[in-house]
Structure 1
Amino acid sequence: MGETNSNSPFKFKLGAQTNVGCVRTNNEDNFVVSTDLAAGEWLLPRDCHTLFTLGDKGAMLVVADGMGGLDAGEIASRIAVDTVKEFFSADKITDEIAKDDSAIRKYMHEAVVAADNAIKKRSKEEEGVKSMGTTLVAAWLFEGFANIVWCGDSRAYLFNPVSGLAQVTKDHSYVQELVDSGRLLPEYAFDHPDSNIITRSLGNPRKAANPDFIRLPLQEGEILLLCTDGLNSMLRDEEIEAVMQETSDDIDMCTKSLIQGALDLGGHDNVTVVLCQVAPEENKTPMPEMQQTVSTFTEKERKKPVRKLVLWTTGIFFILLLSCLAWLLSAEGNGQPWKNKIIHWYEQTVK
């Protein structure tokens, strides 16, 4: 696939959904999207099949995962997305802000710091929300690039139908630090018991927000995925990739299938998914059809291959055991002691 031309707008589809999960009673996740920042529209499209053209000020995707007792987490995540909305109102996005990647990075960093300060201010003002905080991941789609800022363990992935899924953000978490230091192999990170401990967030009274930033060129057919850890703590990356590989031609189905996959595995947390797919140019050679893979994952299906192997092995063992017993009994019935029968077999086959 060819890279999009950074000097010309591209077309895209958008899908988003949030779910309280199967355990929690309230949803502390928040998200907001704008398909056209120049128009000041912050509404989720009713039809996921709508094709949008990227405007001259771009589009914005924001996901936040709140933390805290009672409704505190929900308040913190809402403050975070509202602050980003304010920073990216049409009148505030100037040519100076968007002149290069350094200026964009600086401005997005300022937006996250402002959200952090707004949450801390609210915590001081209200007694019941002293311990609230939130993670944040936001992507500004502008001139063929995704400019992504994040703080915490809410993630951004980039899915390419040919090369697959790649995590483009790095979690600010205790487990990620173990991996980075070489004390934990990456393949053991998913099941680590402390995978929920984060090292950076917004609203922490002891630390200032310290977000990271990455700038990625977008290609035709790729899908940018933003999510809370309610998705990636339930589905492994290869499972997320399998879902997207099977449903990438329908952004609505892809969104719903990812959410359902997390719920099928227990839905232990709130789960939020925001997808943006760069539409291929018209009249181009279609993508080669990819091998389809299973898109619904449950613990039962994960363990099924192991159980099959155990059942097959056990069945074969009992068949052999019954055959041996029948053979010995027939030997006794023919008047031939079973020990002599074994010796005879040994001499005929081994020697």
Structure 2
Amino acid sequence: MSKSFRIIASTGTDKGDRDYQQDRVELLTHPRVNGCVLAIVADGMGGRSGGRKASDQVIMTAGQVFERYDPATDDAASFLENMVQEAHLVIRLTAISAEQEPHSTIAAFLVNPGGDCHWVHAGDSRIYHFRSAKMAHRTRDHSYVQALVDRGDLTEAQARDHPHSNILLGCLGMDNTPPTSGYAIAELKTDDVLLACSDGVWHYFTADELAEAVSTRTPREATEFLIAQARERAAGGGDNLSLVIVKIEAPVEVKKSRRFQGFEAKS
């Protein structure tokens, strides 16, 4: 990809059929470096106040750590790992006063001005990379059901409807250190799409359906479409939903637009 590119992005949340919202999603632009963005999805667990406290702490910590990040000198993978560990520690400290023990997933990706992209995740919130309208890669859940899929005991289709699909093997706030997994894309290309979402979204779609949705629509249109379709398919039993979509485009003349609808990055 050229070192000059444009990012078009959208975020979305919906409480689904739950009584309250415990998901948080954020798309942050670097305070000093144009073209450097951080996307985070956090799915909180632990009662009404506990889950929301946990996801709030993830977003707050991510913002604080991102302000200290320098893409010219800092290692992106180390930055993401430190962000997760700091958020995990803060959640553990807040557990003392929480209604129930707070936990949260995290799915975060960083786009640097040079066009490289780095991921980190813990739990079952996912990140997808789509290229040429097909899934190029996605995160692997830290869950009981994903372990069954990895062993060949279940198919992906069977896993979506498994009665134990909500059992996590690791996330932020647990007693043990979160089992983070990282990934890197050396160079994003024009029309690449990145999607981070909670299980309230991905549970209702195949990878091909997600690829079609984000490749044929703008990020804003795709966000609205996926939330509406997930709500319809949940048929009254849906979880909280949260997602962020980032699309890489060739540079164009920068025009005034709503926040996060587009900006140009150069290096």
RMSD of aligned residue pairs (Cα, Å): 1.9
Q: Distance in 2 between matches of 1:200 and 1:14?
A: 29
Q: Is the 8 A contact 1:225 1:274 kept in 2?
A: yes
Query: 8 Å contact 2:133–2:212 — kept in the other structure?
Result: no
Q: Number of residues paired by the alignment? A: 249
Partners of 2:167 and 2:84 in 1: CA distance: 20
- Alignment partner, residue 24 of structure 1: 18
Decide whether the 8 Å contact of 1:230 with 1:270 is kept in 2: yes
Instruction: Please say if residues 157 and 169 of structure 1, whose CA atoms lie closer than 8 Å, have aligned partners that are also in contact.
Output: yes
Q: Does the alignment pair 1:255 with 2:208?
A: no
The structure that is helix-richer by fraction is 1
- Asked if structure 1 preserves the Cα contact closer than 8 Å seen for 2:118 and 2:182, the reply is yes
Q: Name the structure 2 match of 1:93.
A: 70
Q: Does the Cα contact within 8 Å between 1:226 and 1:273 map onto a contact in 2?
A: yes
Return the alpha-carbon distance in structure 2 between the equivalents of residues 76 and 273 of structure 1: 17
Q: CA deviation at 1:163?
A: 4.4
Alignment deviations for residues 133-185 of structure 1 (CA, whole Å, 9 cap, x no partner): 0000111101211111111111011222x341344211111111111122223
1:238 Cα deviation from its structure 2 partner? 2.7
Q: TM-score, normalised by structure 2?
A: 0.87
Alignment partner of 1:74 out of 52, 55, 62 = 52
Question: Contact 1:190–1:236 at 8 Å: present in 2 too?
Answer: no
Structure 1 residue 108: Cα displacement: 1.1
Change (3 A) 1:61 1:212: same
Tell me the equivalent position of 1:119.
Answer: 91
* Structure 1 residues 111 and 82, CA gap change in structure 2 (3 angstroms): same
Larger Rg: 1
What's the counterpart of residue 107 of structure 1? 79
Unpaired segments ≥5 residues, structure 2: 253-267
Structure 1 residues 183 and 212: CA distance shift in structure 2, 3 A: same
Q: Which ranges of structure 1 fall in alignment gaps of 5 or more residues?
A: 40-53, 98-102, 283-351
What's the % identity of the aligned pairs? 28
Q: Is the 8 A contact 1:24 1:268 kept in 2?
A: yes
CA deviation map 1:303-342 (0-9, x unaligned): xxxxxxxxxxxxxxxxxxxxxxxxxxxxxxxxxxxxxxxx
Is the contact made by 1:155 and 1:167 (CA closer than 8 Å) also made in structure 2?
no
Match of 2:29 in 1: 35
What is the match of residue 43 of structure 1? none
Q: How far apart, CA to CA, are the structure 1 residues paired with 2:99 and 2:180?
A: 23
Match 1:211 to one of 163, 175, 180: 180
2:121 is aligned with 1:145: no
Deviation at 1:193, TM superposition (A): 1.5
The 3 A distance-change label for structure 1 pair 166 and 129 is: farther
Distance 1:113 1:181 in 2: 28
The one-letter code sitting in structure 2 at the alignment partner of 1:59 is: V
**In 2, are the aligned partners of 1:235 and 1:261 still within 8 Å (CA)?**
no
Q: Is the 8 A contact 2:171 2:178 kept in 1?
A: yes
Q: Quote the Cα distance in structure 2 between the aligned partners of 1:179 and 1:94.
A: 36
* Equivalent residue, structure 2, for 1:13: 8
**Between 162-171 and 188-197, the greater mean CA deviation after superposition:** 162-171
- The one-letter code of the counterpart of 2:154 is L
Superposed CA offset, 1:59-101 (max 9, x none): 1111100001122101100101111111110x4436431xxxx
Please tell me whether the aligned partners of residues 20 and 270 of structure 1 are also in contact (alpha carbons under 8 angstroms): yes
TM-score scaled by structure 1?
0.67
Do the aligned residues in 1 keep the contact of 2:4 with 2:250 (CA within 8 Å)? no
